[in-house]
Amino acid sequence: MIRPPSPRNKLTPRVAVIGGCVAGLSAAVNLASRGVAVTIFEKNAALGGKLNRWQKGGFTFDTGPHVLTMLFAIQELFQTAGERFEDHVDLIRLPTICRYHFPDGDYFDAAADPRQTGEQIGKIFPGGKDEFFAYLSHSQDVYEKTVDTFLRQDPSEAMKRAGAFSALASLKGFLDLNPFESLDRRIQRTFTDERLRQIFRLYALYSGSHPKRCSSIFSVVAHVQWNIGTFYLKGGLYSLVEAIKELMSKLNVQVALNSEVTEITTEGKNCRAIKVMSNGTETEHLVDGLICNQDVLTAHRLLPNLSPPTDVEPSTSAFLILAGIRGSYPTLSHHNSFLTGDEWREYAEIFDNHEPPTDPTIGVSNQSFSDSSRAPDGMTNLFIMANVPAMADQRTWTPERTADYRSVILRKLERMGLPDLESRIIVEDMWTPNDFSIRYNSYRGSLYGLSSNGWKQAFLRPPQRAKGLRGLYYAGGTTHPGGGVPLCILSGKIAAEQLIADL
């Protein structure tokens, strides 16, 4: 049954946000703070998208991002609503960015203070101290030459506005960074120790990409981690979602949960309305504009005449184990990376063979290390993640295959310093690429939409203003400027600004 839509309000523009992920929440705040009437339609029972929460048996887990960087993006969002981010959360700067565990049993702590990291590197990796600071200097240069052009605006839109001279001047600064050099090549030219090279090549996987096929621009991660800072929120990163919900309440943003947008209807080249399915009932809502926070690569399902994507390479997906365990492990820091013994075999299995790696690099986030509220007394919550390829179809991860790969991961962690891990698990949840596809409409279960392999996918991500259709704008990790909490917040802001400019 379709209810008659409410009439358009001639004075206040009405905008629907499709999806309540971080980018959609950012877009809603930016729109509402400028007097736009906003309603978020979210298909799931909670806002946040991949940045969400799972609780069981006294344990609490973040189910998505575990690292908070580039705080300025979040602070600016709250300033837009006349608030201070720090007044809503308990912000903790982590003393150690990550503990890297090597297959031989050694480990290296990347301290948050770059001077301490440099000293540590100098002791463990001969000659590495000067190399590290040279790389950090290059990373800062990359950031300063790209932040305004690529992070704070959609570059395709900026090029249209700037004119030929300004565009060429901006492009020259970008080309000075040698962006068509691969990340691996930059790292090989900087570091001599192969273990250090392996650590810094992991930056490619932060965007679901291959270090020999993605741009050296991803070196910017070093500046973001060390010079800008790596943070945690007391109570977990879902606290950010809860804080933004407070902003939206003050701005009268409407939220419809368990409400899936099934179709965007159009008149000519203009968006007219959306159809929403909730509790078995279909309703139609007229709109003056739309922010689509759904994966750009699956959004064609909402527009009957839009063709599905072809010839695109998705980013990696993930295999997750959320494990509440008895006791704790003294060898764990807050963030940990258990490295593979053969990284090039791992990359080949993921990107060439499209198979889960046999010896994966495993990330383990141990929030209990910094926050006792995440687990009962004497117990620990572990977020365990391995990078796996996006799936070919939803049959890729059968229950049998899921159980087998769980064993691969747990056996490796037990060999590398977490003895009896499986027998100490009290509560557990597992996520495969199937889950990301079903829960979040992610293209083939990918985490970041397109990979950043190749210059086109790295620098020409799907634009935020929909081509050939007025009133539709995309926001989120699958469009510009990319994945991760701060970039998604910037993406929502850019999309909102474009929409307002066009009203």
Q: Which tens digits make up the pLDDT trace of 109-148? A: 999 999 999 999 999 999 999 999 999 999 999 999 888 7
- Strands 37-41 and 362-365, sheet pairing: unpaired
Query: How far apart, in Å, are the Cα atoms of 477 and each of 164, 283, 503?
Result: 29, 28, 25
Has residue 373 been placed in a domain? no
DSSP state of 391: P
Please state, in angstroms and rounded to a whole number, the distance separating the CA atoms of residues 226 and 177: 20
pLDDT for the residue numbered 165:
47
Has residue 410 been placed in a domain? no
Has residue 338 been placed in a domain? no
CATH at 241 = 3.50.50.60
Has residue 398 been placed in a domain? no
180 and 266 fall within a common domain: no
Closest CA to 25 of 470, 475, 334, 466: 475
Has residue 17 been placed in a domain? yes
DSSP helix/strand/coil, 404: helix
74 and 155 fall within a common domain: no
**End residue of a domain, out of 223, 257, 282:** 223
Helix (H) or strand (E) holding 254: strand 254-256
Q: Could you tell me the two tokens for 476?
A: 């989120």
197 and 285 fall within a common domain: no
Q: Per the omega criterion (within 30 degrees of 0), is the bond before 481 cis?
A: yes
Please state, in angstroms and rounded to a whole number, the distance separating the CA atoms of residues 480 and 335: 27
87 and 174 fall within a common domain: no
Please state, in angstroms and rounded to a whole number, the distance separating the CA atoms of residues 365 and 362: 10
Q: Is residue 387 left, alpha or beta, with left meaning phi > 0 and alpha meaning psi from -120 to 50?
A: beta
How many distinct structural domains can be found in the chain? 2
Closest CA to 14 of 29, 1, 33, 32: 32
Has residue 7 been placed in a domain? yes
**End residue of a domain, out of 171, 192, 223:** 223
Phi, psi of 494 (to 5 degrees): -65, -45
DSSP assignment of 429-494? EEE-HHHHHHHH--GGG-SSSB---SHHHHH-PPPSBPTT-BTEEE-STTSSS-SSHHHHHHHHHH
73 and 20 fall within a common domain: yes
pLDDT for the residue numbered 480:
85
Has residue 381 been placed in a domain? no
Is residue 485 within 8 A of residue 497, CB to CB? The reply is no
**End residue of a domain, out of 223, 254, 287:** 223
119 and 68 fall within a common domain: no
Q: Could you tell me the two tokens for 466?
A: 């929909």
Q: Give the chain's largest Cα–Cα span.
A: 72
75 and 158 fall within a common domain: no
196 and 291 fall within a common domain: no
302 and 259 fall within a common domain: yes
Structural domain span for residue 297: 2-52+62-91+235-310+453-502
Q: Could you tell me the two tokens for 277?
A: 């399915």
218 and 244 fall within a common domain: no
Is residue 208 within 8 A of residue 364, CB to CB? The reply is no
DSSP helix/strand/coil, 289: strand
Closest CA to 278 of 20, 22, 45: 45
pLDDT for the residue numbered 161:
55
135 and 218 fall within a common domain: yes
Report the chain's mean pLDDT, rounded to a whole number: 91
Has residue 490 been placed in a domain? yes
Which parts of the chain have pLDDT scores under 50?
1-10, 164-165, 168
What's the pLDDT tens digit per position in 240-277?
A: 999 999 999 999 999 999 999 999 999 999 999 999 99
Q: Could you tell me the two tokens for 393?
A: 């179809």
Is residue 360 within 8 A of residue 202, CB to CB? The reply is no
pLDDT for the residue numbered 171:
62
| 172 CB neighbour count, 10 Å cutoff | 10
Closest CA to 68 of 200, 293, 225: 225
130 and 183 fall within a common domain: yes
